[in-house]
């Protein structure tokens, strides 16, 4: 009889160990599945944005300022606030962001945008509401031909202006790969 209880105890302990091993493996797999690119699992980008894998790529929403800087290649000043933003990567990518730059950094922000995207394009349609803005500027290359006659690797339309009530620079950017 003692031998039967001993055998039952060994079986119970074995089952508990196997169950524990499977649970630990399941925990590790679900913890790292997002960074491995498994569809529909989440991960955090290297710059802190929450992202979710999709069947053919991934989506990061909302974006941190570090990710907006990284994906846009624009050296935006510290203190820039990301109001909304998302990044969708499949075989192509699309970055959409709405930013606010404090009054003290408004001029350096425009200089950083112009340095990366070129000068303001006169007469281009503005991609945002401008009723409360002054000094509206649109930086765009959606005409799709560079000075060298080669098509650019990305298309962008960036609208910016100074909010009249507080001097904050509002930036609306859409950047997509070709």
| Residue among 46, 153, 173, 140 nearest 92 (CA) | 153
Portion of the chain with pLDDT greater than 90, in percent: 60
Q: Is 166 exposed, middle or buried (0-12, 13-18, 19+ CB in 10 A)?
A: exposed
Supply the pLDDT for residue 31.
80
Supply the pLDDT for residue 144.
60
| Average pLDDT estimate for 130-142 | 89
pLDDT digits (tens, 9 = 90+) for 89-128: 998 999 999 999 999 999 999 999 999 998 998 888 888 9
Integer Cα distance of 146 and 154 in angstroms: 11
**Which 3 state secondary structure label does DSSP give 19?**
helix
Supply the pLDDT for residue 145.
55
Residues in the chain: 178
pLDDT digits (tens, 9 = 90+) for 41-63: 899 999 999 999 999 999 999 99
| Residue among 113, 115, 127 nearest 157 (CA) | 127
Integer Cα distance of 133 and 128 in angstroms: 10
């Amino acid at each position: 009889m003692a031998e039967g209880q001993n055998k039952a105890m060994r079986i119970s302990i074995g089952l508990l160990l196997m169950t524990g091993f499977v649970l630990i493996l399941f925990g590790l797999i679900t913890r790292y599945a997002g960074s491995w690119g498994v569809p529909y699992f989440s991960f955090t980008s290297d710059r802190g944005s929450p992202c979710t894998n999709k069947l053919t790529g991934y989506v990061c929403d909302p974006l941190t300022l570090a990710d907006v800087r990284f994906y846009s290649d624009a050296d935006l000043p510290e203190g820039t606030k990301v109001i909304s933003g998302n990044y969708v990567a499949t075989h192509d990518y699309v970055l959409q962001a709405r930013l606010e730059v404090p009054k003290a950094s408004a001029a350096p922000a425009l200089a950083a945008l112009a340095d990366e995207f070129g000068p303001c394009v006169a007469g281009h349609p503005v991609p945002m509401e401008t009723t409360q803005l002054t000094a509206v500027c649109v930086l765009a290359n959606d005409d799709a031909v560079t000075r060298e006659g080669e098509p650019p690797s990305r298309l962008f339309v960036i609208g910016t202006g100074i909010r009249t009530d507080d001097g904050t620079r509002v930036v609306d950017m859409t950047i997509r790969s070709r």
